[in-house]
Amino acid sequence: MKASVAAAAIRYGVVETVGDSMCITDLFQALDDMKQLNSNMKLEIVNLKKTKETSEDMISIPGIGDPLLECGDSAAEKSPRERERCELKEMLEDFQYQTCRQGSLIKKLRYQLSVFHKNMLHEEDSVYDNMNYIDRAVIDRILSDVKVPVIKSEDLSFLVGANVDGDDDLVGKGSFGKVFLRQYQGEAVAVKVPYNGEGVRDEDDEKRMVRIKADHARTTMEALVNLAFADHPSFPKTVGIVDIGGAPSLVLEFLGDKNTGTIYTLSQAIKFQIPALSKENWFVIMMDIIHGLKAMHEKGLLHNDLKANNILLQWDLEDQRWHAFIIDMGKVSTQTIPLRHKQLPKEELEGYKKGTLFPHLAPEYILDLQPMTIQTDIYSLGKVLARIEKVIRSRPLRDLADEMTHVKARLRPSWKHIEKVITKAQRRNIS
């Protein structure tokens, strides 16, 4: 099975050589390693439990007390032993958490590999062609009946009254491309065009075709993710995909002032109070974001790049309030085949430690090179809430943000706790 999947991966362009990092064979190796790690951790838990029970039994024997303490020891001298006991308990809980997580991940990975194997061998000439295995796993998570509409470029026009000289209609940038303001069937839309690298001019026809197919695969993945949440109020509506100068581009509903083409990011609202929001509106915006990210997790997906710049605000005339929308699905992955981080250059690593680079990403992902998880998304959300707290000044929100950005992933709160704290703080603010 390993050989057939690896061969299929090379055949369909998912990996170029068997030596590529995280190739298909690596997935099987990861499964084997995880099984071994799971067994080792279970053994460690048994040993820790025995040590803990022995220690507690000796302490409970009348006349003996703590074996490491003499009769005349003061309470202050006993504190190191108490700390050691607490550390032992914490270590045991950590091992239990990791073992449970590893066991669950093994089961999910087994299933994901079987699905992946089936698709690689039987799904030819499909949206999967030229799609990396992380993006392809995302597609497997989305309903098969979700179809991406194709738009003709001639059906797009410049928004009436907009200045279209050069990049003047540019309304935003992301890690993957630029976003332009256009009009489609009388409605303002945002067209996300992928970047062309510096070597594009020198590429031959074969390389150009590979690049276009890869761009199309990625744009398709992002479009399908947005379509999967078409009925959710925390995500923009997908209009379709259009070819712009040979670049497969994503067309989304425009979020912002449709008359001027102005967009409002959460970052602008935090930094410059543009738009100016009431405290009550801040709370409903937080709930918009929470409900959106939670919905992604319930579908087995991870956003992996949640930050204030990837959240847009739009005024709703009907509700008479500002709504928040989560955007930029270019780095979305599944929870079972997540993004893995490569070692950062020394300069960027120092920037992260100082808080100037990638502050929204969890330390276990950047520093420990661990894969993305639900907890890393929770961390990113905590960073967003921490920035909002500096505007509205709420002690419960500050404490919650501290919990969500805890250096230890297992100590970050659950969705139930997050929603409970925000709802309670919101009610207190209204009263």
Domain segments of the chain as ranges: 2-124, 150-253, 264-430
pLDDT of residue 283: 97
Instruction: Determine the Cα–Cα distance for residues 223 and 241; give it in Å rounded to an integer.
Output: 8
Lowest mean pLDDT, pick from 302-306, 335-339, 378-382: 335-339
pLDDT of residue 86: 76
pLDDT of residue 389: 97
Confidence of residue 200 (pLDDT cuts 50, 70, 90): low
Higher pLDDT, residue 42 or 148: 148
- Inter-CA distances, 339 with 222, 269, 304, Å: 15, 30, 8
- Asked whether the predicted pLDDT for residue 156 surpasses 50, the reply is yes
Classified by CATH at the fold level, domain 150-253 comes out as: Phosphorylase Kinase; domain 1 (3.30.200)
- Inter-CA distances, 275 with 79, 112, 185, 278, Å: 53, 44, 28, 10
Mean pLDDT of 206-230: 82
Non-local (6+) Cβ contacts of 47 within 8 A are none
Are 49 and 88 a contacting pair, CB within 8 Å? Answer: no
Confidence of residue 9 (pLDDT cuts 50, 70, 90): low
Non-local (6+) Cβ contacts of 343 within 8 A are 369
Instruction: Determine the Cα–Cα distance for residues 23 and 20; give it in Å rounded to an integer.
Output: 6
> Phi and psi of 297, rounded to 5°?
-65, -35
Mean pLDDT of 231-260: 90
Instruction: Determine the Cα–Cα distance for residues 387 and 270; give it in Å rounded to an integer.
Output: 7
Most distant CA pair in the chain, distance: 90
Instruction: Determine the Cα–Cα distance for residues 245 and 243; give it in Å rounded to an integer.
Output: 6
pLDDT of residue 233: 96
Tokens of 263: 């967009």
pLDDT of residue 352: 95
* Burial status of residue 92 (CB atoms within 10 A of its CB: 0-12, 13-18, 19 or more): middle
What are the pLDDT digits (tens) for 55-68?
A: 666 555 555 444 44
What are the pLDDT digits (tens) for 359-418?
A: 999 999 999 999 999 999 999 999 999 999 999 999 999 999 999 999 999 999 999 999
pLDDT of residue 246: 79
Are 195 and 173 a contacting pair, CB within 8 Å? Answer: no
- Asked whether the predicted pLDDT for residue 123 surpasses 60, the reply is no
User: How far is C-alpha 238 from the geometric centre of its chain's CA atoms?
Assistant: 20
Highest mean pLDDT pick, 1-15, 96-110, 232-246: 232-246
Lowest mean pLDDT, pick from 40-44, 199-203, 212-216, 223-227: 199-203
Which CATH number is associated with domain 264-430?
Answer: 1.10.510.10
pLDDT of residue 113: 62
- Asked whether the predicted pLDDT for residue 21 surpasses 50, the reply is no
Mean pLDDT of 194-207: 64
What are the pLDDT digits (tens) for 87-105?
A: 777 777 777 777 676 666 6
Q: Which of 418, 192, 402 is nearest to 310 (CA)?
A: 192
pLDDT of residue 204: 67
What are the pLDDT digits (tens) for 347-356?
A: 999 999 999 9
Are 401 and 382 a contacting pair, CB within 8 Å? Answer: yes
Instruction: Determine the Cα–Cα distance for residues 258 and 256; give it in Å rounded to an integer.
Output: 6
Instruction: Determine the Cα–Cα distance for residues 181 and 172; give it in Å rounded to an integer.
Output: 9
Higher pLDDT, residue 50 or 317: 317
Q: What is the mean pLDDT of the chain?
A: 79
Higher pLDDT, residue 256 or 53: 256
pLDDT > 90: percent of the chain: 45
- Inter-CA distances, 9 with 28, 110, 113, 207, Å: 13, 18, 12, 19
pLDDT of residue 70: 43
Task: Tell me whether domains 150-253 and 264-430 share a fold.
Answer: no
